[in-house]
Structure 1
């Protein structure tokens, strides 16, 4: 399962939203990857997420595989919207 997003925030995915995403991802057993800039990193790694350098106007994909994948993808999507991280789903 996967879903693609686009960053609209001036600061992109900086330390605070990256930490929130990693902490949420760690609650799930599924493998969760963040894909951006032709690279894929484990979303359960703060260093990996920060290393992607996701800035304003960047598109990224959250890819999830495992028994709780649907729940994980929905929770991550909800966080991206409810935390006002400045990120919207690409239609």
Structure 2
């Protein structure tokens, strides 16, 4: 399963939203990957996510597989769409 979204918050995926993303991903058993700019990384690793340098307007694809894949995709999609509580 996968979902493609656009990073909308002005400051991109800096440390705080990246941390929120990883914390949310780690609540699930599913194997979750984040793909952007031609690279795919483990969505449960803050260092890997930060290495992508995601800025506002960047398209990202979240993919998940495993028993709670749909729930993890729903939660991470909601987090990205909420702009990580920023504006």
Equivalent residue, structure 1, for 2:65: 65
State the SS of the aligned residue for 1:5.
Answer: strand
Deviation at 1:81, TM superposition (A): 2.9
Report which stretch shifted further, 2-11 or 53-62.
2-11
Between 77-86 and 3-12, report the one with greater CA deviation: 77-86
Q: Which residue of 2 aligns with 1:89?
A: none
Distance across 2 between alignment mates of 1:58 and 1:81: 13
Alignment of 1:1-91 (within 5 A): 1-82=1-82, 83-85=84-86
Q: Residues 6, 62 of structure 1: CA spacing in aligned structure 2 closer, same or farther, 3 A cutoff?
A: same
| CA displacement at 1:26 relative to structure 2 | 0.6
State the aligned residue count.
Answer: 86
Could you list the runs of 5+ residues in structure 1 that have no partner in the other structure? 87-91
Q: Structure 2 CA distance, aligned partners of 1:73 and 1:13?
A: 17
Q: In structure 1, how many angstroms separate the alpha carbons of the residues matched to 2:39 and 2:86? A: 22
Kept in 1, the 8 Å contact 2:7–2:80? The answer is: no
Q: Structure 1 residue 28: deviation in Å?
A: 0.6
SS at match of 1:17: helix
The Cα RMSD (Å) is 1.3
TM-score (normalizing by structure 1): 0.87
Unpaired segments of 5 or more residues in structure 2?
Answer: none
